Amino acid sequence: MSDKTGLAKDRTEYAENRTDWAEDRTVLANERTFAGWLRTGMASVAIALGLRALFRPYEPTWVPKVVATVFIVAALLIFVSAWRQAKRTKDSLSTHDANGQSRDYITVITIAFGIGTSATGVILWLL
């Protein structure tokens, strides 16, 4: 009888380990997804800069600025959305063996990207 009890404990321990590792993989996947959304936001900023440069001689000058601003605003929305989702996922999971990024780090990165993108939008209007 003790062999069966030991086997059941081993199986339970293995199952708990697999669950913990799956949660760790999800935490790390969340970070990769967050980084992917940041890249998408930066691509939106690059599109804004490219459109502004491409249509620089266009008259009236406010038209290309407005179009570029749409992409700047889209980038800011992407950053905020990525931050909210990453934070929500991070709050619902815990790490076991993986060392994931802290919520504070994710927040600081999002703020830095937001400030840089906002400054880019302001500069686009001043040029």
DSSP sequence for 40-57: HHHHHHHHHHHHHHHTTT
| 36-59: pLDDT as tens digits | 999 999 999 999 999 988 988 888
For the chain, domain boundaries:
2-126
Residue 99 has pLDDT above 80, yes or no: no
Of 126, 127, 124, 33, the residue nearest 73 (C-alpha): 124
| 62-94: pLDDT as tens digits | 999 999 999 999 999 999 999 999 999 888 776
